[in-house]
Amino acid sequence: MQLPTNVSSLRGMIEVPGDKSISHRAVMLGALASGRTVIDHFLPGADCLSTIDCFRKLGVDIRQDGTTVVVEGAGPGGLREPAAVLDVGNSGTTARLLLGILAGQPFHACLVGDESIAKRPMGRVTKPLREMGARIDGREGGNYTPLSIRGGALRPLCYTSPVASAQVKSAILLAGLFADGVTSVAEPHRSRDHTERMVRLFGGEVNVDGLTVSVAGPQRLRGTHIYVPGDISSAAFFLVAGAIVPNSEITLKNVGLNPTRTGIIDVLTQMGADIAIDNVRHEETEPVGDITVRTSTLRAVEIGGDLIPRLIDEIPIIALLATQAEGTTVIKDASELKVKETNRIHTVVTELKKLGADIEATDDGMMIRGKTPLYADGIVVDSHGDHRIGMMLAVAACIAKGTVRLERSEAVAVSYPAFFADLRSLL
pLDDT digits (tens, 9 = 90+) for 149-170: 999 999 999 999 999 999 999 9
Walk across the sheet containing 68-74 and list its strands: 61-65, 68-74, 34-40, 225-227
CB 398 within 8 A of CB 241: yes
Span 226-252, mean pLDDT?
98
Residue 245 in this model has a pLDDT that exceeds 90: yes
Share of the chain above pLDDT 90, in %: 95
- Contact in structure between 239 and 291 (CB atoms under 8 Å): yes
**DSSP 8-state class, residue 215:** E
- pLDDT-based confidence at residue 285 (cuts at 50, 70, 90): confident
Sequence-distant (≥ 6) Cβ neighbours of residue 269 within 8 angstroms: 275
pLDDT at 422 over 80: yes
pLDDT score of 1 more than 90: yes
Confidence band for 405, pLDDT divided at 50, 70 and 90: very high
Residue 324 has a pLDDT of 98
Question: pLDDT higher for 283 or 229?
Answer: 229
Question: Phi-psi category of 356—alpha, beta or left, where left has phi over 0 and alpha has psi -120 to 50?
Answer: left
Query: What's the mean pLDDT in 334-351?
Result: 89
Query: Tell me: the pLDDT tens digits for 24-73?
Result: 999 999 999 999 999 999 999 999 999 999 999 999 999 999 999 999 99
- What per-residue confidence (pLDDT) applies to 167? 96
Mean pLDDT across 5-33: 97
Element (H, E) at 397: helix 387-398
Residue from 47, 313, 382, 422 carrying the catalytic annotation? 313
Can you say which residues are annotated as belonging to the binding site for phosphoenolpyruvate? 20, 92, 120, 167, 344, 388
pLDDT of residue 339 exceeding 80, the answer is no
Cα–Cα dist 343/357, whole Å: 18
Q: Which pLDDT score is estimated for 100?
A: 98
**Is the predicted pLDDT of residue 304 greater than 90, yes or no?**
yes
CB 268 within 8 A of CB 307: no
Pair 412, 16: CB distance under 8 Å: no
**Whole-number average pLDDT of the chain:** 96
Known active-site residue 53: no
What's the whole-model pTM score? 0.94
Confidence label for 77 from pLDDT (cuts 50, 70 and 90): very high
Vertex 312: Cα angle to 230 and 406 (nearest 5)? 75
Residue 159 has a CB neighbour count (10 Å cut-off) of: 21
> How many residues are given for the chain?
427
* CA dist 29 → 36, 195, 421 (Å): 11, 9, 32
pLDDT band at 350, cuts 50/70/90?
Answer: very high
Closest to 28 in 3D by CA, of 216, 145, 167: 167
